[in-house]
Amino acid sequence: MGSASPQFLAYAFAVILVFNFSRSVAWRQFALLAASVGFLGFFSLHPLAFLPLAAFLAYGFASLRLMQAKKANLYAPLLLLGIVAFMWLKKYSFIPAVLFLPHPYLTLGLSYIFFRALHLIIDARNGDLPPDISLLSYLNYMLNFTTLVSGPIQRYEDFAAMQLAPVPLPLNLLVAGEALERIIVGFFKVNVLSLFLSMIQASALNSLHDNGPAGARILNGVIIAAIYPFYLYCNFSGYIDIVIGIARFLRIQLPENFNRPFASDNFITFWSRWHITLSTWLKTYVYNPLLIVTMRRWPSPAAEPFLGVLAFFVTFFLIGVWHGQTSVFIFFGVLQGLGMSVTKLYQVLMAKWIGRKRYRELARNGLYNVATRGLTFTWYAFTSLWFWSNWKQLDALARTFHPGEIAWVWLLIFVGSSVILALWEAMRGWLLSFQFQGQPLLLSRYIRTAANTALVVISIGTMSLLNAPPPDIVYKVF
């Protein structure tokens, strides 16, 4: 079952009907767990395939209980055990293959279960969690089928506050309408926009010939590199829209994971708007502790900004490493870390050289913003090459272009993205400037009703006409 397919939606709506049969906490917990277990059943029916996942869940629950029982001496070994077990089950390439389990097993959602497990262990040790986390609540938090596949990563306290509340979140007509709107928009993003964008990129890749004219090759290079970030955004944020909408029908409010990332004018802002819950998790559990530890080790105010640069690099290097099991993702991590740390270093040095006030003024300059927005997009598009391809494909791509052509490709992407994103921002601002009853006309429920109806018709029409299987979610494999 595709993660954003009509079948998934049909399953989710069946669950919504059953879930809302009763408002009692017990019923809601039982219904959600049954729905999550049922969802897993779509991916395998072989009991052996679930054993590693079950063992990892058992590890998480046992560790949580041990931390709540104040067994502080087990804290580091348990964290280490979790990290090693995760890498082993995900078959990281540096681990000898002979050590891997011989039979096929399910790793669906393991990465997100891993984050949730570490969050529970760390916060339980710090006493930040409620003391009475039952096995049922734990399993519901870990396996919630709306967040299992690709997040978003919700904190346990936020989840429990809604799931275990005696009075569930209200579900009136307006809320239902907004939830449905999220599902429709997400479905359109995944099944229409991302599908077309992937087709455009695939077509450009197919028409990339060594002996073609240089102009056509450069244009194809621009399309190949620049389309992917938009494709990934539509694919991933569309899926998140869908699960946020579904979860709201299940009386759970999931955190947002995207906030117009391509409007970012620097790479640090970009990562605070892109996969927000992952970057927030890493900031909470990697960046902040690392910064504190290094500041204690080198307690100099002058060194503090540079320690931040270092902490940024390590944190976002880990983001890259988390994404995949091969060396290409290590390089992806290095590039993410470089993007973040160089941006931070630039901010520190500019504030030092021209003064904070003048730097703030510069950062507010419209033309400067246009260029930095384009640069941020270009850097992300460049680093994405190590996200969607492997070394062999990268080698083939590099051989296709002459060095001068590669320079042209990135120059065109920088100029093009600067102009297009600036125009987009300007048009968005202009459209939102029209007011109706104290809010932008474009956001009135009448316009939104018409727009969402159109999206439904276009989605159904496109899916019927193309007759292609719905695209799967890129982040499902992580």
Partner 1 sequence: MTESRSNSPVRSWDPQPATLPRRDYYLLPLISLSTILLIFGVSEFLTRVIWAEQKTASCTIIDPIAGDHFKPNCTVRTKNAEGPWTTYQYNECGYRSVTSCGPKPPGSIRIAILGSSVSQGLYVPYEQTYFARTSAELSRSCNRPVDVQNLGVPGSSPIYAYRRVQEALALQPDVVLYLLAPFDLEQRIDPKELAARNAPARKDAPAKRAVQLTLSPMKRLEGTLVESRTVLVAQHFLFQNRDTFLRMYMLYGDKADFLRQPFTPAWQQRFADLDLIIGDMADRLRAVGVPLVVIPVPSRAQAALLSSPQLPANIDPFAFGHQIEAIAAKHGADSVDLMRPFSNIPNSQNFFYVVDGHVTPEGQKVIAQILSQRLLDGSVPAFARCAPQQSLAREH
Q: Decide if residue 476 touches partner 1 (CB under 8 A).
A: no
Q: Is 437 in the site for partner 1 (CB under 8 A)?
A: no
Among 2, 6, 255, 305, binds partner 1 (CB under 8 A): 255
CB of 414: closest distance to partner 1 in angstroms? 27
Q: Please state, in angstroms and rounded to a whole number, the distance separating the CA atoms of residues 460 and 12.
A: 18
User: Taking the complex as a whole, how short is the minimal distance between the CB of residue 105 and partner 1, in angstroms?
Assistant: 30
Residue 153 in the binding site for partner 1 (CB under 8 A): yes
96, 170, 213, 438: which one contacts partner 1 (CB under 8 A)?
Answer: 170
CB atoms within 10 A of CB 434: 11
Judged by CB under 8 A, does residue 347 bind partner 1? Answer: no
User: Where in 372-401 is the site for partner 1 (CB under 8 A)?
Assistant: none
Region of 20-28, 317-325, 405-413, 446-454 interacting with partner 1 (CB under 8 A) = 446-454
- 366-372 long-range contacts, CB within 8 A, separation 24+: 369/265, 370/418, 370/419, 370/421, 370/422, 371/418, 372/265, 372/266
Reading the block at residue 159, the tokens are: 């989840």
Token pair of 424, please? 């987009």
Choosing from 393, 404, 454, 469, the residue that interacts with partner 1 (CB under 8 A) is 454
Point out which span in 141-149, 152-160, 199-207, 415-423 binds partner 1 (CB under 8 A). Answer: 152-160
Interacting residue with partner 1 among 116, 248, 275, 323 (CB under 8 A) = 248
Shortest distance, position 403 Cβ to partner 1, whole Å: 38
Query: Count of residues binding partner 1 (CB under 8 A)?
Result: 40
Q: Which stretch binds partner 1 (CB under 8 A): 22-30, 232-240, 418-426, 452-460?
A: 452-460
Binds partner 1 by CB under 8 A, chosen from 157, 209, 428, 440 = 157
Residue 353 burial (CB count, 10 A): 9
Q: Report the residue number, 93 or 462, with the smaller CB distance to partner 1.
A: 462
Residues that bind partner 1 (CB under 8 A): 152-155, 157-158, 169-170, 172-175, 178, 248, 253-256, 259, 276-277, 280, 283-284, 287-288, 308, 445-446, 449-450, 453-454, 457-458, 461, 464-467
